[in-house]
């Protein structure tokens, strides 16, 4: 097991390093933030002084080396627009995004898996066909359009839920969060539902496919021959055998939802990291863009690493294959 963990850690470090280079070069190729920061009528001396102040006169490789040195000490630079440390700026917005993501993933998984199990257990029934039709809509309809429909229906027409914002913030286990207040829950429901629909459709379809395949397997027939109830067969045998693809999707779902909640946060005016990165792109705030993208890469690597460990726990063949040389 130790060899398996070390192998995955080495792969994770290589991926993060390679992606940091791609992110750094890509972001620094899209424009010059000085054009946004300085008055177009400023003289050349003022412009040159500002460029030197932010280190933009240095070669790209040196700027990248300075960035890596800062990362090693936990310093990702200062925002060009807000003039505060990037880490402080991102982490001030991160709790709002985490709230939204955790609620949406809980909805997608809590509803998607049971609905997928039912659709796979009774694939020819009318409710199962309705569930699959709903999953197709989750894939097909754009997120921003669903968000606007939810706002028009529940905020404008019915007036039962707010149209945007985070709501009142309370304290839960010493952590400030809007999930500690009724007003906060009222604000999070619509964006969380909107963000969960795509992932819910994915979970439904994957669970149904695994269920249909598993119900025809020999171990299910043997379990039925032993007189086990259908509920116990599904819980103890089927779910265990289809758990690996579900764990994969859950991990990717968590990472992608956290990284790409941009559209939902923009539609619902949710003050999270997604809205921050949109504002940073519009204003060419390079340090924020680079730091956000690198943190997203690290997030995905950590999630994949955790998923690998869960794999090894669920299926020893994964561990043995990964650590064959130990």
pTM of the model: 0.75
**Cα dist. 237→4, 72, 113, 242 in Å?**
27, 46, 15, 9
Domain ranges of the chain: 86-282
Q: What is the pLDDT of residues 100-159, one digit of tens each?
A: 888 998 998 899 889 988 888 888 889 988 998 888 887 788 888 888 999 999 999 988
- The single-letter DSSP state of residue 161 is S
CATH of domain 86-282: 1.10.3720.10
Q: Which helix (H) or strand (E) holds 157?
A: none
Map tokens 């630079």 to a residue.
77
Q: Cβ–Cβ contacts within 10 Å for residue 267, how many?
A: 22
Q: Across the chain, where does the E strand assignment appear?
A: 170-172, 175-177
Q: Determine the pLDDT at residue 149.
A: 92
Cα 295-298-302 angle, rounded to 5 deg: 140
For the chain, the helix, strand and coil percentages under 3-state DSSP, each to the nearest 5 = 75, 0, 20
Q: Which helix (H) or strand (E) holds 168?
A: none
Stated length of the chain: 326
Walk along the chain (326 residues) and give the pLDDT tens digit of each residue: 666 677 777 877 788 778 778 877 777 766 666 666 666 666 677 777 777 776 777 777 787 887 777 777 777 778 877 888 888 888 888 888 888 888 998 998 899 889 988 888 888 889 988 998 888 887 788 888 888 999 999 999 988 889 888 888 887 777 778 888 888 899 999 999 998 888 888 889 888 888 888 877 777 788 788 777 777 877 777 777 777 777 777 777 777 777 778 888 888 888 888 888 888 877 778 788 888 888 888 887 887 777 777 766 666 655 555 443 33
- Which residues is 177 bridged to in the sheet? 170
List all residues 6 or more positions away from 325 whose beta carbon is below 8 Å from its beta carbon.
Answer: 3
* pLDDT-above-90 percentage for the chain: 7
């Amino acid at each position: 097991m130790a060899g398996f963990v070390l192998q995955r850690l080495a792969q994770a470090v290589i991926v993060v390093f390679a992606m940091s280079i791609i992110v750094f070069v890509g972001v620094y190729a899209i424009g010059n933030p000085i054009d946004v920061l300085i008055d177009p009528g400023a003289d050349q001396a003022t412009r040159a002084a500002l460029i030197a102040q932010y280190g933009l006169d240095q070669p790209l490789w040196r700027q990248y080396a300075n960035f890596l040195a800062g990362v090693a000490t936990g310093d990702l630079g200062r925002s060009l627009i807000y003039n505060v440390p990037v880490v402080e700026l991102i982490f001030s917005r991160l709790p709002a995004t985490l709230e939204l993501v955790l609620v949406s993933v809980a909805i997608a998984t809590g509803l998607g898996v049971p609905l997928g199990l039912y659709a796979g257990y009774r694939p020819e029934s009318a409710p199962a066909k309705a569930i699959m039709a709903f999953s197709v809509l989750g894939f097909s309809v754009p997120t921003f359009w669903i968000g606007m429909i939810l706002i028009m229906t529940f905020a404008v027409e019915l007036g039962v839920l707010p149209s945007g914002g985070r709501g009142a913030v309370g304290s839960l286990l010493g952590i400030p969060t809007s999930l500690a207040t009724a007003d906060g829950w009222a604000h999070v429901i619509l964006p969380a539902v909107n963000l969960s629909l795509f992932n819910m459709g994915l979970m439904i379809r994957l669970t149904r496919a695994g269920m249909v395949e598993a119900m025809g397997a020999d171990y299910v027939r043997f379990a039925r021959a032993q007189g086990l109830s259908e509920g116990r067969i599904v819980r103890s045998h089927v779910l265990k055998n289809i758990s690996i693809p579900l764990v994969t999707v859950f991990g990717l779902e968590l990472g992608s939802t956290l990284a790409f909640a941009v559209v939902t946060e923009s539609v619902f005016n949710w003050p999270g990291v997604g809205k921050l990165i949109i504002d940073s792109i519009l204003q060419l705030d390079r340090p924020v863009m680079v730091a956000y993208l690198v943190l997203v890469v690290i997030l995905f690597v950590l999630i994949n690493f955790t998923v690998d460990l869960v794999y090894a726990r669920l299926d020893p063949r994964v561990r043995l294959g990964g650590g064959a040389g130990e």
